[in-house]
């Protein structure tokens, strides 16, 4: 399911503290009997007009207080609804939940492997904007590295991309969000965490005892100590992913652990249509 950006903004509008129930038919019908309170008449009229215009883009029948949903089959990106030679504004793109109801990544390779994407936390706050030539794998790695911040995403895919175009789109999106820039792009340390393996010595994973153990260990035994700590951190990450009901098959690179690094790779699996 994909979250419609307009409907979510309408629901979260800071100036309109009310419950809006709108029903429509055909290309748009605004129900004047909808419950609206504490809203100036001019504001109500403006919102009603925007809703009438907006709902013509939807193929479903009800809009309630939650952000509306569109069926993935209707917004499947094989139809190129987000594939374009032109730069699409970030705000115009729909939200997608990171995981489907079964615990698998929502993003599928046939949506377009090459893309520019934006990642949001559980409160729809923009965290990071990235580019990738294998978007599904990149999204999975982000989930492993920053599980607490990966809840929704937006993306624009490209069939014939160039590094220059991808970078231009990313920079345009970052400028578009200049009033609330993604901290994962503006903070060098956080950007490193989004884009590279987990470094247990630099990313705040060590306990006081572990820090002391590393300082007192000689170079020959250090890889063994780092590997042990990485195993402990791995269990913590796996616990966080289990709490999110992540069903993706994740394998961590054992060779990196001796360097104090932790990163994962996804084993390709066929997601069943039904369970």
Indicate whether 217 belongs to any domain. Answer: yes
DSSP characters over 177-224:
TTTS--HHHH-HHHHHHHHS-EETTTTT---HHHHHHHHHS-TTTHHH
The answer to whether 261 and 199 are in contact (CB under 8 A) is: yes
Indicate whether 110 belongs to any domain. Answer: yes
Indicate whether 275 belongs to any domain. Answer: no
Domain check: are 186 and 209 in the same one?
no
What pLDDT score was predicted for residue 87? 80
Of 177, 196, 215, the last residue of a domain is 196
Domain check: are 40 and 132 in the same one?
no
Of 13, 46, 70, the last residue of a domain is 70
Of 182, 180, 84, the closest CA to residue 130 belongs to: 182
What pLDDT score was predicted for residue 50? 53
Indicate whether 214 belongs to any domain. Answer: yes
Q: What 3 state SS string does 160-184 have?
A: CCCHHHHHHHHHHHHHHCCCCCCHH
Q: 169: which residues sit within 8 A by CB, 6+ positions away?
A: 87, 116, 131, 156
Q: Which residues pair with 261 in a beta bridge?
A: 199
Indicate whether 215 belongs to any domain. Answer: yes
Domain check: are 56 and 93 in the same one?
no
The whole-angstrom separation of Cα 10 and Cα 118 is 21
Domain check: are 46 and 118 in the same one?
no
Domain check: are 53 and 95 in the same one?
no
What pLDDT score was predicted for residue 84? 52
- Residue numbers in the chain where pLDDT is lower than 70: 1-86, 265-275
Of 139, 167, 196, the last residue of a domain is 196
Indicate whether 273 belongs to any domain. Answer: no
Indicate whether 144 belongs to any domain. Answer: yes
- Residue 140's φ and ψ, nearest 5 degrees, are -65, -40
Domain check: are 185 and 153 in the same one?
yes
Of 123, 15, 100, 9, the closest CA to residue 63 belongs to: 9
Domain check: are 93 and 170 in the same one?
yes
Of 242, 182, 236, 181, the closest CA to residue 204 belongs to: 236
Distances (CA, A) of 136 to 114, 231, 267: 9, 25, 12
Domain check: are 189 and 213 in the same one?
no
Indicate whether 153 belongs to any domain. Answer: yes
Q: Where are the alpha helices (DSSP H) in the chain?
A: 5-11, 41-55, 135-145, 163-176, 183-186, 188-195, 208-216, 222-243, 254-257
User: Which residue has tokens 């170079």?
Assistant: 219
Domain check: are 104 and 162 in the same one?
yes
Domain check: are 96 and 169 in the same one?
yes
User: Which residue has tokens 């709108």?
Assistant: 22
In three-state secondary structure terms, 263 is coil
Q: 84: which residues sit within 8 A by CB, 6+ positions away?
A: 156, 158
What pLDDT score was predicted for residue 15? 38
What pLDDT score was predicted for residue 7? 53
Domain check: are 109 and 185 in the same one?
yes
The whole-angstrom separation of Cα 192 and Cα 202 is 10
The answer to whether 128 and 119 are in contact (CB under 8 A) is: yes
- Residue 174's φ and ψ, nearest 5 degrees, are -65, -40
What pLDDT score was predicted for residue 41? 44
Domain that holds residue 53: 2-70
User: Which residue has tokens 């990544």?
Assistant: 105
Q: Domain count of the chain? A: 3
């Amino acid at each position: 399911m994909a979250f419609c950006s307009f409907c979510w903004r309408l629901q979260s509008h800071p100036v309109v503290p009310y419950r809006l129930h709108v029903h429509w038919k055909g290309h748009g019908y605004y129900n004047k009997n909808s419950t609206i309170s504490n809203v100036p008449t001019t504001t109500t009229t403006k919102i009603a007009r925007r809703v009438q215009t907006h709902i013509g883009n939807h193929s479903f029948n009800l809009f309630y207080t939650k952000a509306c949903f569109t069926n993935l089959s209707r917004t499947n990106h094989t139809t190129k609804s987000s594939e374009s030679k032109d730069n699409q504004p970030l705000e115009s793109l729909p939200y997608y939940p990171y995981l489907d109801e079964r615990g698998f990544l929502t993003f599928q390779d046939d949506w377009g492997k090459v893309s520019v994407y934006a990642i949001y936390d559980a409160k729809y706050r923009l965290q990071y904007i990235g580019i990738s030539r294998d978007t599904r794998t990149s999204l999975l790695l982000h989930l492993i590295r920053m599980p607490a911040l990966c809840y929704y995403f937006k993306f624009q895919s490209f069939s014939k991309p160039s590094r220059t175009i991808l970078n231009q789109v990313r920079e345009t999106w970052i400028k578009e969000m200049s009033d609330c820039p993604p901290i994962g792009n503006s903070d060098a340390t956080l950007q490193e965490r989004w884009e590279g393996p987990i470094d247990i010595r630099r990313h705040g994973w060590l306990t006081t005892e572990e820090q002391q153990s590393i300082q007192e260990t000689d170079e020959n035994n250090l890889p063994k100590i780092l590997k042990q700590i990485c195993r402990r951190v791995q269990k913590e990450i796996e616990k966080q992913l289990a709490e999110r009901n992540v069903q993706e098959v994740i394998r961590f690179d054992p060779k990196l652990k001796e360097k104090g690094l932790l990163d994962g790779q996804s084993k390709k699996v066929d997601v069943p249509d039904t369970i």
